[in-house]
Amino acid sequence: MTNAKIDLARNINEDAMKLAVSKLNFILEKISKGGGQKKIDKQHAKGKMTARERVVYLIDDDAEFLEFGALAGYEMYEEYGGCPAAGVVTGLGKVNGRLCVIVANDATVKAGAWFPITGKNNLRAQEIAMENRLPIIYLVDSAGVFLPMQDEIFPDKEHFGRIFRNNAKMSSMGIPQIAAVMGSCVAGGAYLPIMSDEALIVDKTGSIFLAGPYLVKAAIGENTDKETLGGARTHSSISGVTDYKMPDDQTCLDTIKELIGNMGDFEKAGFNRIESKPPTENPENIYQIFPDAPTKPYDTLEILKCLVDDSKLTLYKEDYGKTIICAYARIDGWSVGIVANNRQVVKSAKGEIQFGGVIYSDSADKATRFIMNCNQKKIPLVFLHDVTGFMVGTRSEHGGIIKDGAKMVNAVSNSTVPKFTIVMGNSYGAGNYAMCGKAYDPRLIYAWPTAKVAVMGGVQAAKVLLQIQTASLKAKGEAIDEAAEKELYNKIKSRYDEQTTPYYAAARLWVDGIINPLDTRKVISMGIEAANHAPVEKFNTGVLQV
């Protein structure tokens, strides 16, 4: 390829990525408005800050806030007016110098009511707090379960009640929990403050009760008002449910900062960190390197050099299993082990052509050994996805691809060092599993705007499903002409393509969010800092086929 063609391709890539990032920023900006300006103004008229304003006020001035679940619920529940960010702001941020998980109900979205995805987002926040042994702060302002969908949020294992089970489990684990009731806290949700270590309530705006005035009247015929039933004075001086009565939101948040600042320190994992160095390669080169189409090859090592300190990588088994890159490096000073799909077409040691982004037996074997080594040496793992799956066909099956793939999945499953996953491009089929997809407990999993998550690509899925449907029709004696076949193919592909987008994945919390590729270093660094608060358990693979 001539230099002119290379420059043109890089320019096309850059334009495509910048457009994708611009779209992401536009969507996130809209989501940040919650239920809209009118609802925000209504909050302010009551003397209340919005959920996002509370989070900004709470975290340290110079601290980053790593939000997870910002796209949860995206384009879902449209029949009910939508549910931006699942009606709750969740993320990692430093409060008085200590990294905490923060959960803030957004009362501008259906009065902070819990949709099914709201429950999933809250549980994810608690999971992150438990895995990393981090203090968790709840800023409560919620009308409780969204009643039209109560059957999808109330009774099951991963539903609303799991929140309080987790409160109890975290308490037994010694994980600090602070709850601030800054608005409504009703029905089953009323258990959250008293199941936390300490509870604050804001006078005149905060309220806690199992049943509101109307339900009390209907149930037992008693007439009462909100303040008498469960206001700040009631719970601070009569019931003893809350520990601190606060005059306003700002004072409440200031008090939380003091409480966090008074905490002692806990045992650390002891991950290796030295002084951070920026990459010598310009990180913005990622925009030019990463292709504008998911089928195009590229040099994954070029991407890695834009992400790691000093652009320095120590490659493990460089000439073996070339469709997966395994390397030791540092990200923001932290020592990491990187497992990345190589998207270049390569030749194996036997001279066989191997397709980029496909996991072969030798690459699975290499990755398995590398993952085990990182566990042995207590080095956090970073997985970078652009994988179409494991190699198929007679030669691969005879060569034991299932066995080698199972070894890799075993090592990922039993890994005890923290794992962090970035879905750069394709994440298809069992490749998603082997590369530590959501089902394999990454501490954090984020996607670039170019990500695609599915069993297989839209083209392949459409061809497979078309063959099945066509065969079914023929078996019934029904003919299908070329035009009808094309229409059916396009219909299947369109539906499948929609379901493979990163927004579809982020809306359902298959990933914690979508990020600008330039934020990758920050996400991984904050993730390892969080993970460093939780000691690492002993690594054991169990039975491993060799």
pLDDT tens-digit map of 5-25: 888 999 999 999 999 999 999
pLDDT value for 152? 84
- The stretches of 329-393 forming alpha helices (DSSP H) are 361-376
Which position has the higher pLDDT, 398 or 39?
A: 39
In this prediction, residue 540 has a pLDDT band, given cuts at 50, 70 and 90, of confident
The closest alpha carbon to 94, from 490, 526, 544, belongs to: 526
Q: Quick one: average pLDDT of 451-467? A: 80
pLDDT of residue 38: 96
pLDDT tops 90 at residue 471: no
Please list the helix, strand and coil fractions of the chain in percent, rounded to the nearest 5, in that order: 45, 20, 35
Give the tokens for residue 462.
């459409």
Given a cut of 80, whether residue 308 has pLDDT beyond it is yes
Q: Which of 95-99, 351-355, 396-400, 426-430 has the highest mean pLDDT?
A: 95-99
Mean pLDDT of 498-526: 96
Q: Using 50, 70 and 90 to split pLDDT, how confident is the model at 476?
A: confident
CA gyration radius for the chain? 26
| Structure tokens belonging to residue 430 | 């069992």
pLDDT tens digits, one per residue of 335-374: 999 999 999 988 887 778 888 899 999 999 999 999 999 9
pLDDT in tens, 229-258: 889 999 999 999 999 999 999 999 999 999
Mean pLDDT of 452-466: 79
Supply 78's token pair: 């449209």
pLDDT (average), residues 152-178: 91
Q: Contact, 290 vs 424, CB < 8 A?
A: yes
* Residue 241 phi, psi (nearest 5): -65, -40
**How sure is the predictor about 527, in pLDDT bands with cuts at 50, 70 and 90?**
very high
Residue 374: C-alpha distances to residues 310, 411, 421, 538 (Å):
21, 11, 15, 12
Decide if 145 contacts 188 (C-beta within 8 A): yes
In the numeric block, which tokens belong to residue 464?
A: 């497979």
pLDDT of residue 544: 64
Tell me whether residue 174 is exposed, middle or buried, using C-beta atoms within 10 angstroms of its C-beta: 0 to 12, 13 to 18, 19 or more: exposed
pLDDT at 474: 76
Given this model, what pLDDT does residue 119 score?
A: 94
Nearest to residue 391, comparing CAs of 355, 442, 427, 419?
A: 355
Query: Which of the residue ranges 22-36, 141-155, 234-248 would you say has the lowest mean pLDDT?
Result: 141-155
**Which single residue is written with the structure tokens 């190589």?**
342
Q: What pLDDT shows up at residue 194?
A: 87
The whole-number pLDDT of residue 188 equals 67
More confident position, 456 or 303: 303
Task: Look up residue 339 and give its two tokens.
Answer: 């497992």
Would you place residue 546 in the very low, low, confident or very high pLDDT band (cuts 50, 70, 90)? Answer: low
25-39, 100-114, 455-469, 532-546: which has the minimum mean pLDDT? 455-469
How sure is the predictor about 545, in pLDDT bands with cuts at 50, 70 and 90? low
Find the distance separating the first CA and the last CA of the chain, reported in whole Å: 42
Quote the mean pLDDT of the chain. Answer: 92
Average pLDDT over residues 452-463: 80
Q: State CA 55 to chain mean position distance.
A: 19
Which of these ranges, 77-81, 163-167, 395-399, 404-408, has the smallest mean pLDDT? 395-399
More confident residue, 478 or 498: 498
Give the pLDDT confidence score for residue 543 in this predicted structure.
Answer: 65
Minimum mean pLDDT among 62-71, 182-191, 353-362, 510-519: which range?
182-191
User: If pLDDT is split at 50, 70 and 90, which confidence band does 408 have?
Assistant: very high
Q: Using a pLDDT cut of 70, give the percent of the chain over it.
A: 99
Cα distance between residue 411 and residue 364, in whole Å: 10
Is the pLDDT reported for residue 166 higher than 90? yes
Decide if pLDDT at 484 tops 80: no
Which residues is 330 bridged to in the sheet?
335
What mean pLDDT do residues 324-343 have? 98
